[in-house]
């Protein structure tokens, strides 16, 4: 399988596409103006404790306070100085966003109340685990982690983990034993996918680097004001190199000379041997056009996605969940209805797994498969979906198909999905997807004219409307308008105003 990492780097925006066999499977975008803050460390102040939600709000210096859930709180009964020097925690729910590293990890429930752990006015060191989304502030955690090229340091845990994408048991055992031998003071570490086959001295070198970095963060946090940015994660380009440019990637192509040189310097330090796989795109043709990425992104914004068989899926997102509906469309099959439905559902499974990863859809997802009569076929579709999601780095949980043909699943949400990043609610429908019909607006205006007529002695009323609505009133609704004028005993004059929203109108007495 051919795998390429395509980076379009500009001062105002960095776009990253991971491609497998010419198809975009992961897409990332970062704009400095909107500020990607996931992974950053902040010295913040608790501004509000919410026992009813078992959470607290923390001021980290941004417009909206960050959200700190009880499960993400280290035991802060110690003073802030003690916290910064504490290097071990019994809880193990401290893994970073990178879920590829979470193999073998068991989450431990907290037995604390939020009010026992933090109090208003308290200074606290936190790391952003989720970007701000919509109207919500960032989510932060005290279970900090520092990702390197081969390892992830967890200074508040003593857990040792190995990426689930390293399948060879002997290699998994080697990495665990090496980390156990090399790590000092019971620091927690996770061996990332890129650590497979890496020599002990390279792991030790990175381990020392990460520990030194943590010590520097602690030192800076002690004297920093509140709120204050303590440590900033790598920018989008180097983060892509660190997290996505593994041995499985055949080429990294970037279209910016300065960023190209920066990447070469970075991998010289952390990934010697990968320099030959980095290329500078010098063609006048935009890099995303040259590799067909723009076409894939346009497809990722479509509500309806066609399947090769002629069936299609419809993806719709709300505040609460994402719904996915499967339809046979133009596909009529060859033998019987159940076989046609099964084939469509199985084809849809692959497309759904791909679209979830490409669009970065997270949270609750409900998939409405076409009804199948046979239990064995429902089991086939469930198994196929679970298998198709195995390549997804984000943690997923899939429930069995219900009798109604629904599968409920969750996918860990870390960043905004593509749709919310690239689009904004329609200024007309304000995000509902619908407008009042012209007839409904017309009759609503007539009701308001009746109300206004009761308040004025003027002989005429002026109704200003959108041009499309004026055309409707003077054509299809002219009889209703004449009846209204007769009943009110007043003349109604219709005016056209291009600046009015279709659903807006203005009434004046004259």
pLDDT tier for residue 135 given thresholds of 50, 70 and 90: confident
Torsion angles phi and psi, residue 329, rounded to 5: 55, -125
Question: Is 385:407 a contact under the CB 8 Å cutoff?
Answer: yes
Q: In what order do the strands lie in the sheet with 396-398?
A: 304-306, 312-317, 321-327, 363-368, 406-411, 396-398
Lowest mean pLDDT among 208-217, 298-307, 325-334: 325-334
Distance set, CA 474 to CA 15, 461, 477, 494 (Å): 51, 15, 6, 8
289, 296 contact by CB (below 8 A): no
Output the CA torsion 293→295→297→301 (10° steps): 180
User: Would you list the DSSP string of 77-105?
Assistant: TS-HHHHHH----S------S-GGG-TT-
C-alpha closest to that of 463 among 453, 454, 455, 401: 453
Write out pLDDT tens, residues 27-51.
988 887 666 788 999 999 999 999 9
The least confident of 28-37, 78-87, 339-348, 398-407 is 78-87
pLDDT-based confidence at residue 336 (cuts at 50, 70, 90): confident
Task: State which fold the 41-232 domain adopts.
Answer: OB fold (Dihydrolipoamide Acetyltransferase, E2P) (2.40.50)
Angle at which helix 337-359 crosses helix 375-388, to 10 degrees, equals 20
pLDDT of res. 89: 29
Region 405-429 average pLDDT: 83
Q: How many Cβ atoms from other residues are within 10 Å of residue 346's Cβ?
A: 17
CA distances from 500 to 402, 465, 503, 506 (A): 48, 7, 8, 9
- Round to whole Å and give the CA distance between 36 and 415: 9
d(CA 388, CA 465): 52
Task: Report the distance separating Cα 386 and Cα 407, nearest Å.
Answer: 11
pLDDT digits (tens, 9 = 90+) for 456-488: 999 999 999 999 999 999 999 999 999 999 999
Instruction: Report d(CA 30, CA 256) in Å as an integer.
Output: 15
In 3-state terms, what secondary structure has residue 125? strand
Q: Is the pLDDT of residue 88 over 90?
A: no
CA distance 144 to 134: 24
Q: Are 180 and 152 in contact (CB under 8 A)?
A: no
Helix (H) and strand (E) counts in the chain? 14, 24
Portion of the chain with pLDDT greater than 90, in percent: 60
* The CATH number of the domain covering residues in 438-509: 3.40.1260.20
C-alpha angle 346/351/352, rounded to 5°? 90
CATH code of 3-33+237-294, in short, is 3.30.420.60
Tell me the three state secondary structure of residue 446.
Answer: helix
* Mean pLDDT within 379-398: 92
Question: Residue 380's pLDDT band (boundaries 50, 70, 90)?
Answer: very high
**Inter-residue contact 109 to 93 (CB < 8 Å):** no
For residues 160 and 102, give the distance between their C-alpha atoms in angstroms, rounded to a whole number.
10
Q: What is the pLDDT of residue 18?
A: 94
Per-residue pLDDT, averaged over 417-422, amounts to 80
Q: Give me the DSSP letters along 248-260.
A: T--EEEES-HHHH
Mean pLDDT is lowest, of 118-132, 284-298, 416-430, for 416-430
Is 356's pLDDT higher than 70? yes
């Amino acid at each position: 399988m051919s795998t390429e990492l395509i980076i379009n780097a500009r001062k105002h925006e960095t776009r990253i596409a991971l491609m497998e066999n010419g198809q975009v499977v992961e897409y990332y975008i970062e704009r400095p103006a909107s500020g990607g803050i996931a992974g950053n460390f902040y010295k913040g102040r608790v501004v509000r404790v919410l026992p009813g939600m078992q959470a607290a709000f923390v001021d980290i210096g941004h417009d909206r306070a960050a959200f700190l859930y009880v499960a993400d709180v280290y035991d802060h009964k110690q003073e802030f100085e003690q916290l910064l020097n504490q290097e071990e925690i019994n809880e193990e729910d401290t893994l970073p966003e990178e879920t590829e590293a979470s193999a073998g990890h068991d989450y431990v429930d907290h037995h604390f109340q939020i009010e026992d752990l933090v109090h208003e006015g308290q200074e606290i060191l936190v790391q952003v685990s989720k970007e701000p989304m919509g109207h919500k502030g960032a989510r932060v955690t005290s279970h900090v982690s520092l990702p390197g090229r081969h390892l992830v340091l967890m200074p508040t845990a003593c857990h040792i983990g190995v990426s689930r994408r390293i399948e060879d048991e002997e290699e998994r055992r080697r990495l665990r034993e090496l980390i156990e031998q090399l790590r000092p003071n019971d620091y927690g570490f996770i061996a990332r996918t890129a650590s497979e086959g890496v020599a002990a001295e390279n792991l030790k070198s990175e381990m020392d680097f990460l520990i030194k970095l943590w010590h520097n963060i602690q030192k800076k946090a002690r004297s920093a004001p509140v709120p204050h940015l303590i440590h900033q994660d790598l920018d989008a380009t180097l983060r892509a190199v660190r997290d996505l440019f593994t041995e499985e990637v055949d080429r990294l192509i970037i279209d910016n000379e300065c960023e190209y040189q920066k990447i070469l310097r970075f991998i010289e330090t952390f990934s010697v041997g990968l320099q030959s796989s980095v290329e500078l795109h010098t063609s006048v043709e935009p890099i995303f056009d040259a590799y067909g990425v723009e076409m894939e992104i346009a497809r990722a914004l479509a509500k309806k996605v066609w399947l090769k068989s002629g069936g299609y899926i419809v993806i719709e997102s709300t505040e609460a969940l994402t719904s996915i509906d499967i339809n046979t469309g133009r596909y009529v099959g060859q033998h019987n209805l159940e076989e046609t439905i099964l084939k469509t559902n199985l084809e849809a499974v692959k497309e759904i797994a791909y679209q979830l990863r490409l669009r970065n859809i997270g949270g609750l997802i409900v998939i409405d498969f076409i009804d199948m009569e046979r239990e064995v076929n429902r089991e086939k579709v469930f198994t196929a979906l679970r298998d198709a999601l195995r390549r997804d780095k984000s943690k997923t949980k899939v429930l069995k198909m219900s009798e109604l043909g629904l599968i409920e699943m969750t996918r860990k949400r870390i960043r905004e999905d593509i749709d919310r990043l690239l689009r904004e609610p329609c200024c007309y429908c304000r995000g509902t997807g619908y407008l009042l019909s012209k007839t409904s607006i017309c009759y609503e205006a007539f009701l308001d004219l009746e109300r206004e007529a009761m308040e004025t002695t003027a002989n005429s009323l002026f109704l200003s409307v959108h041009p499309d609505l004026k055309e409707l009133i003077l054509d299809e609704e002219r009889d209703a308008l004449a009846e209204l004028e007769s009943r009110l005993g007043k003349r109604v004059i219709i005016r056209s105003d291009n600046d009015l929203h279709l659903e807006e109108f203005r009434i004046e007495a004259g």
